[in-house]
């Protein structure tokens, strides 16, 4: 379990922007299991010397093995406005992924229909007429060497592939979307134990090489454009 201190990028009376580490859930249903919501509520309570539970609304989520930037609302007004931006596609959500080989094209748009199996918590590509099918769309481009944010450490030395870093912009936010669509493209994400059959290193903890490194939106109160972006050592 990741035990790093909270990495808060911005906080005021309306919103809190932070970096979620690998291995911690955005919001867990398991009692006693630490998640970002409980950690941040404790932080707010300590900062405000509050006796009651502080208000904190989840606006968007990241899968537990994925790291990156999240914004939370600290008031009902902020939650309503941020959710409006999210549903009207006013959020700019950008990711970096390290995949095990070069895609068929250096850039492109992936558009598929996906369905989630709630029993196994796994999603898959399906036909448009499949019950529960939802449209999933993303745009990707390869990242030039020297401009990536992932370190190629010892865990990658045994691979018979040449990892490639992708810059990804999400149009939709489906369950495990990036992981599923890249795997279907034949370029699964390194370290993804659910959708990549090749382990990074046998017998060790695998880190899914996917990071929500950039987030753009407007402040819910002032409507000022906000831009947050991580660098190499932050993911």
State the 10-residue block means of pLDDT for the chain, 235 residues long: 77 97 87 86 87 90 94 98 94 94 95 95 96 97 85 54 89 94 95 80 65 97 97 73
Residue 48 has phi, psi (to 5 degrees) of: -95, 0
pLDDT of residue 148: 83
pLDDT of residue 66: 93
CA torsion sign, 25 to 88 to 18 to 231?
positive
pLDDT of residue 207: 78
DSSP sequence for 26-95: SS--STT--BHHHHHHHHHHHHHT-SSPPP-EE-S---TT-EEEEEEESSHHHHHHHHHHHHTT--EEEE
pLDDT of residue 181: 98
CB 113 within 8 A of CB 137: no
Can you give the length of the chain in residues?
235
Q: Look up the CATH superfamily of 7-234.
A: Pseudouridine synthase (3.30.2350.10)
């Amino acid at each position: 379990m990741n035990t790093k201190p909270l990495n808060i990028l911005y906080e005021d009376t309306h919103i809190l922007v932070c970096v979620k580490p690998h291995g911690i859930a955005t919001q867990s249903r398991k009692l006693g299991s630490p998640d970002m919501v409980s950690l941040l509520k404790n932080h707010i309570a300590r900062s405000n010397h509050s006796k009651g539970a502080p208000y904190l609304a989840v606006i968007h989520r990241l899968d537990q093995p994925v790291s990156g930037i999240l914004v939370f609302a600290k008031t009902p007004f902020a939650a309503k406005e941020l959710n409006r931006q999210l549903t009207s596609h006013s959020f700019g959500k950008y990711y970096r992924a390290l995949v095990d080989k070069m895609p068929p094209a250096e850039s492109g748009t992936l558009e598929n229909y996906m369905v989630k199996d709630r029993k196994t918590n796994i999603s898959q590509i399906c036909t448009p007429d499949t019950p529960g099918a939802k449209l999933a769309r993303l745009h990707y481009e390869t990242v030039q060497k020297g401009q990536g944010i992932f370190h190629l450490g010892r865990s990658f030395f045994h691979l018979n592939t040449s990892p490639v870093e992708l810059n990804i912009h999400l149009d939709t936010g489906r369950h495990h979307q990036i992981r599923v669509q890249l795997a279907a493209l034949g370029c699964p994400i390194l370290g993804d134990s659910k959708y990549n059959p090749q382990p990074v290193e046998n017998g060790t903890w695998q880190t899914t090489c996917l990071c929500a490194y950039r987030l753009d939106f407007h402040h819910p109160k002032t409507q000022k454009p906000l831009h947050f972006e991580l660098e190499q050592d932050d993911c």
